Amino acid sequence: MAHAGAPSSSPHVQEKRRRRRAEILHSALRAFRDKGYHATTLDDIVGRLGVRRTALYHYFPDKEAILYACHHEALAEVAGLLDEAKSRFDSPKERLGYVIREHVRVMTDTLEGSPLAFEVPALAAEHQAQIIAARDRYEQGLRDIIAQGIAQGEFRSVDPKIAVFAIMGAINWIARWYRPEGSVHAPALGAQFADHLVGGLTCE
């Protein structure tokens, strides 16, 4: 019941615990990136932390909860991009370009190229439903931008649903080839993706 997290402890202790949790998630994220969720053992996760496997159960009830937490945090970060785009830009073209660039940044920086989106089927049914719902909201936001662009004559008259799938695919696939230490410059990547994917929707 350690992970139940009664908020009875001091702020300092809570903060320490929060940090440790973050360390675990970060280590897990990298392990998932290298081997995928199922092939990652608990020992893989703690290998980088200098701690035994059983210590994990102090912070998470089971392995799947770690995966869920990774998803939860990652989705929270990208979900915020939609509002940010709306407040910063007016035209659908600019908004879409911004979201793509920033989403690419999350992929390369926060997630360090971890293919989290690939591991949704590994989640327990309940968690899976939550994550899929959040992802759907995000995709709906993108579809709305595109639909508005079509209505305003900025974009060609495509099926927004399919267009969003193409965009999400291109971005999620980054996990399969991007490595932080590699030669591809992350910001340039975001810029080219935005040009490529927004350009493909634009009226000539």
The least CB distance from residue 8 to a second copy, in Å, is 39
Which of 169, 180, 182, 187 contacts a second copy by CB under 8 A?
169
Q: Counting contacts by CB under 7 A, is residue 41 touching DNA?
A: yes
Distances (CA, A) of 185 to 96, 108, 110, 192: 21, 10, 15, 11
Binding span for a second copy by CB under 8 A among 17-25, 33-41, 42-50, 61-69: 33-41
Two structure tokens written together for 128: 């899976």
Residue 76 interacts with which of a second copy, DNA, none, CB < 5 to 8 Å by class:
none
Binding span for DNA by CB under 7 A among 53-61, 128-136, 143-151, 176-184: 53-61
Q: Counting contacts by CB under 8 A, is residue 57 touching a second copy?
A: no
Binding span for a second copy by CB under 8 A among 9-17, 31-39, 47-55, 76-84: 31-39
How many residues of this chain bind DNA (CB under 7 A)? 27
Q: How many CA atoms lie within 13 A of 3 on its CB side?
A: 15
**Other Cβ atoms closer than 10 A to 71:** 23
Q: Which residues bind a second copy (CB under 8 A)?
A: 34-36, 38-39, 115, 117-118, 121-122, 156, 158-159, 161-163, 165-174, 176-177, 184, 188-189, 192-193, 195-202, 204
Q: Which residues bind DNA (CB under 7 A)?
A: 2, 6, 8-10, 12-13, 16-17, 20, 40-43, 50-55, 57-59, 61-64
